[in-house]
Amino acid sequence: MLHPIQTTSLLIAAFLSLTSTTVNASTSLAAKAGITGAGVDVSVPVHAKLSARLGAQAVTYSVDIEEDDIDYEGDVKFNTLGAFLDWRPFANGFFTTVGMLRNNNTIQFATGTVGTESIEVGDTTYSGDFEVIGGFDVANISPYIGFGWGHSPKKTGGLGFVFEFGVLYQGTMAFNLDATGTASEEGSTTTIDVSTDPEFQAALAEEQENFLEETDLDELKVLPVINIGLSYTF
């Protein structure tokens, strides 16, 4: 698997190679916002009906997740860098697009206890000072397809409107639960390290299985993406 830095370098290199032959092209810059955050695009024509585009977006949402009677607090983080080819079949603002994105989208969440507070992990109740941490991760490289209006180099330049709808294929998300801290099983005075205790780890594995049974990961394979913004062509 490519390192994120290598992936980013390849995406930028691909963009530069496509635009290097365009000497007198008009460059279009766009500020956009949507489901996957706020970001910018740089678009350069390589043909009368074809443009190369490089774009980046990022945002973090705070979320509350309740699974298997456990309340988690967490963050949904979108962080993408993509290289796109925009095809304009009618030689105007309408375009269809394909691209590859370096995808750092993640979902991270946690729940914890302090003192006499308790939570049920698997089928066993524990109290103490410990935290259960979970997360979803996607494939580092994700294909994208979409259509929209904008990024069209105008002979006179100036301000324009950008709209785009597409889908990002993230593949099957990897999911895991982990735990840190110390706890005691209900009815016991023995304190354990939850990160190494075999019985707690077995209960945590059961909790992870229960979580996956209640969560349809297939719904997260394909992410709809909508963006709107303003562009300026030089």
Closest CA to 84 of 140, 147, 137: 147
Are 121 and 203 spatial neighbours (Cβ–Cβ below 8 Å)?
yes
Average pLDDT of the chain?
A: 85
How high is the pLDDT of residue 24? 47
- pLDDT tens digits along 201-222: 999 999 999 888 888 778 888 9
For tokens 């209960």, what's the residue? 203
Cα distances (angstroms) measured from residue 126 to each of 22, 93, 183, 185 = 64, 60, 6, 5
Burial class (CB in 10 A: 0-12, 13-18, 19+), 187: exposed
User: Which has more confidence, 23 or 18?
Assistant: 18
pLDDT surpassing 60 at residue 19: no
pLDDT above 70 (res 151):
no
pTM: 0.79
pLDDT for position 139: 79
> In CATH, what class is 4-233?
mainly beta
Q: What percent of the chain has pLDDT over 90?
A: 53
The whole-number average pLDDT for the span 143-166 is 84
Between 16 and 59, residue with greater pLDDT: 59
Rounded to the nearest 10 degrees, how much is the dihedral formed by the CA atoms of 208, 209, 210, 213? 120
- pLDDT reading at 23 higher than 60: no
Instruction: Select from 110, 113, 83 the least CA-distant residue to 13.
Output: 83
Confidence at residue 217, expressed as pLDDT on a 0 to 100 scale: 78
Positive or negative CA dihedral for 198, 201, 206, 212?
Answer: negative
Across the range 63-92, mean pLDDT stands at 89
CB atoms within 10 A of CB 108: 16
Question: What's residue 234's pLDDT?
Answer: 81
Which band of pLDDT confidence, cut at 50, 70 and 90, is reported for residue 80? very high
The pLDDT score that the predictor gives to residue 66 is 82
| Domain limits, the chain | 4-233
The whole-number pLDDT of residue 13 equals: 52
* Structure tokens that stand for 173 in this block: 């998300």
At 202, which helix (H) or strand (E)? helix 198-214
40 phi and psi angles, rounded to 5 deg = -135, 155
The string of pLDDT tens digits covering residues 98-133 is 999 999 989 899 987 776 788 899 889 999 999 999
Contact 102, 7 (CB under 8 A): yes
